[in-house]
Structure 1
């Protein structure tokens, strides 16, 4: 939460008129140079050598000149945004110049010669937008996520947050808690004068109870928004030489990991980011799990288990030699699948309630046709007849592939995409999701304070817990102060009527 004194302090730090290249670096057709601050109007007149400012928000074509030596710099489109109707809330101008480095440097040099202008610091335009009330912190974070979005789903979630969906949700809770605080404080101050409604305290309690339930529901989202923002962690585990590195390369469609017939080639975790079905996935190839006395290999195995512990999805790989030996009947095959986790010694490492699994049986190309058909039939029953197969196999899907020929890879990717999409959910459905651990922390602190409110018999202490919850919500958006509570009191109550 930013107080008035904090805002004044930041305003002193970020004073003056700033300029920077707002488009991408490198040669391009058009480059956008943005200028924001109190000296923008004189900047436009000096660069364009015009006596009148252009019409607001209407592009004009103008020649730009150096203010000192009068050199002709470029012909540019000039867009003028008077404050507060601009991105930063200040007077702002954009110069759309030709994108050559020499042109950009010349315009920057000309701007730097003007009194009161300086190059912008990293993110300073957005900081000014926040300080001037154009964006709150959640919208700022959404803007940052939109800039860094690499998949379609990330873009949709970031755009939704930048446009204020998350902010409006938290604002609704903030306004209701403000109203409840106003009711409680009015009860404290005026109940003895009998100028207040008798049930006002109970009304506040009911409203806070509803807000508390809504926040708890918001928190129980299985981290889908955070997973979408940061990426779903997928770890490939298995014994040596079952094809883990080959599978990683097939998914990435490039030689990201070394493939060798020598067992134990992969000693460390090899990590790469891929786009699967429009969702971000952080894919990890790990060292083969086996008994070893080699200190380096043992460290690799330890890191493999640690990565599995952090994973959202674990791909457990084996090859057809063991699968065929264990597929003499449905019962033996199910036992084989159910024992695979314990055979890889993962039970002590993983929270089986929060991790999804895909069992991948590799090297179908070395099997005769009848064995392949038999395995496919068993796998189909496991995947699509789980009620009959038993609840112990419900959280596991299985597939038969060949990394050498590519057979079954598409089906495996569809299984993985289905799990990833389920974990991230549709970013445009229902209420917006939590996207930051910071949000989660403050919401948890807010619910703890609201819970204390319900258990307080002392109304003064109860009001203080409400204020604590309000401050925690305010820390998410960067807004709310004591004057807001006073505004609600005088808006909702006519004391002494």
Structure 2
């Protein structure tokens, strides 16, 4: 306080506005927009994995990738422009368009590969959505409270206690996770519970990971756990039965009159709760040869098995988010994704115009693609193209 009072006596001195130093750094070409976004993400990082990703972006890894694409696009656009304006007068090589086509095709492949990242960077930045689902009184709220290490949800033996979605942001293994405790899935007793069940199903369908909680004391062992989980998801309303046209394509087992459609369970983790009430060793033995990696046995009363559950959940989260320090830098913003998709569309349009031998419109598509890249980094200028035209072809010597 004394320091502020002393500084306030200096004429012309004022406190900086929010983000003013970063804005000046951008305006003076010290940072581009991706690095600015990286700095903002670093400030708001809540987990170690988020911090690592933000640091990598702030250090310019993503910027260098996009600037490399921008530089190559500038050269492609400049070569096409030179071919249009000076091909007859300056004897520009006739294979220049072929070279541009080859380079543009490479750029398309690299950008499309960058977009096919399963949204790892965005998940790590905003958090992985984990929905805890199941029938009433199986221990969903108890499991949430253990993971949050606080009484985030009301626990009661009365079925249907949880009506709305209870959310809690937690750090699991250094990764940000948004846990959602949902209403018990059953036939609703009143309109409020029915709405809670509808929201629960919707949240489960949108979740990155579904944690299905089962009461092990009511579990009737099935020979195939995967088939049981498929059936259970159908009963809970999380997935739908396939249409008749799709059913006709399903291969049926000769021993069974009906086969459910194959469901991807890569985003499902099954929790058998209340093992303190049964022979736990028997359950492990029965499941040992039956997709044990898909399930875990816990007791929310004694917390036995919770450590194993966290280990499996962390592995699932790591697979979704990836290692922020490995491989190419991750795409972290929906804004980047939108501009890159538009860039790809313009590059595809370029090839269409080339096939129709309309070089002028093809050049325009390259300009539009370049502009989308520029919107990501904050560098948009047609002068760069002009500079390359005269530098590479020495036009006007």
Do the two structures share a fold, i.e. TM-score over 0.5? Answer: yes
Which of the numbers 355, 360, 364 marks the counterpart of 2:275?
364
Counterpart for residue 22 of structure 1: none
1:459 aligns to 2:370 (yes or no): no
Which of the numbers 406, 409, 412 marks the counterpart of 2:309?
412
| SS of alignment partner, residue 317 of structure 1 | strand
Q: Greater CA deviation, 449-458 or 189-198?
A: 189-198
Kindly report which structure 2 residues correspond to 1:363-402, keeping only aligned pairs within 5 A, or say none: 363-367=274-278, 369=279, 372-383=280-291, 397-402=294-299
1:431 aligns to 2:328 (yes or no): yes
1:231 aligns to 2:123 (yes or no): no
> Distance between the aligned counterparts of 1:451 and 1:352, measured in 2?
34
1:487 aligns to 2:384 (yes or no): no
1:266 aligns to 2:141 (yes or no): no
Which of the numbers 374, 380, 386 marks the counterpart of 1:474?
374
| SS of alignment partner, residue 14 of structure 2 | strand
User: 1:237–1:465: structure 2 CA closer, same or farther, 3 Å change rule?
Assistant: same
Counterpart for residue 244 of structure 2: none
> Distance between the aligned counterparts of 2:105 and 2:66, measured in 1?
16
Higher relative contact order (Cα pairs below 8 Å, separated by 6+ residues): 2
Q: Deviations 1:109-141 (Å, cap 9, x if unpaired)?
A: 234xx13x3332221111111111111000000
> Distance between the aligned counterparts of 1:108 and 1:267, measured in 2?
55
The count of aligned residue pairs is 374
> Distance between the aligned counterparts of 2:266 and 2:380, measured in 1?
39
Matched-pair contact (CA < 8 Å) for 1:195–1:496: no
Which of the numbers 72, 89, 95 marks the counterpart of 1:176?
72
The two structures, once aligned, show a CA RMSD in angstroms of 1.8
> Distance between the aligned counterparts of 1:262 and 1:223, measured in 2?
39
> Distance between the aligned counterparts of 1:107 and 1:444, measured in 2?
53
| SS of alignment partner, residue 272 of structure 1 | strand
> Distance between the aligned counterparts of 2:325 and 2:263, measured in 1?
29
Q: Give the superposition deviation at 1:339.
A: 1.3
1:316 aligns to 2:208 (yes or no): no
> Distance between the aligned counterparts of 1:317 and 1:107, measured in 2?
61
Counterpart for residue 302 of structure 1: 198
> Distance between the aligned counterparts of 1:416 and 1:352, measured in 2?
20
| SS of alignment partner, residue 205 of structure 1 | helix
> Distance between the aligned counterparts of 2:87 and 2:226, measured in 1?
69
Kindly report which structure 2 residues correspond to 1:333-344, keeping only aligned pairs within 5 A, or say none: 333-344=225-236
Q: Deviations 1:316-341 (Å, cap 9, x if unpaired)?
A: 11101332x234xx24x443233111
> Distance between the aligned counterparts of 1:278 and 1:422, measured in 2?
13
Q: Which runs of 5+ in 2 are unaligned?
A: 242-261
Q: Give the superposition deviation at 1:450.
A: 0.4
Matched-pair contact (CA < 8 Å) for 2:137–2:184: yes
Q: Give the superposition deviation at 1:383.
A: 3.0
Q: Give the superposition deviation at 1:306.
A: 1.9
Q: Give the superposition deviation at 1:108.
A: 4.5
Which of the numbers 110, 132, 156 marks the counterpart of 2:52?
156
User: 1:338–1:322: structure 2 CA closer, same or farther, 3 Å change rule?
Assistant: farther
Matched-pair contact (CA < 8 Å) for 1:314–1:355: no
1:345 aligns to 2:237 (yes or no): yes
TM-score (norm 2): 0.90
Matched-pair contact (CA < 8 Å) for 2:160–2:184: yes
Q: Deviations 1:391-425 (Å, cap 9, x if unpaired)?
A: xxxxx811111111111111111110000001100
Q: Give the superposition deviation at 1:315.
A: 0.5
Q: Deviations 1:124-168 (Å, cap 9, x if unpaired)?
A: 111111111111000000000001111111110000000100000
Q: Deviations 1:2-25 (Å, cap 9, x if unpaired)?
A: xxxxxxxxxxxxxxxxxxxxxxxx
Matched-pair contact (CA < 8 Å) for 1:184–1:459: yes
> Distance between the aligned counterparts of 1:247 and 1:445, measured in 2?
43
TM-score (norm 1): 0.73
Q: Give the superposition deviation at 1:480.
A: 2.7
Matched-pair contact (CA < 8 Å) for 1:237–1:316: yes
Matched-pair contact (CA < 8 Å) for 1:269–1:304: yes
**Could you say which structure has the higher strand fraction?**
1
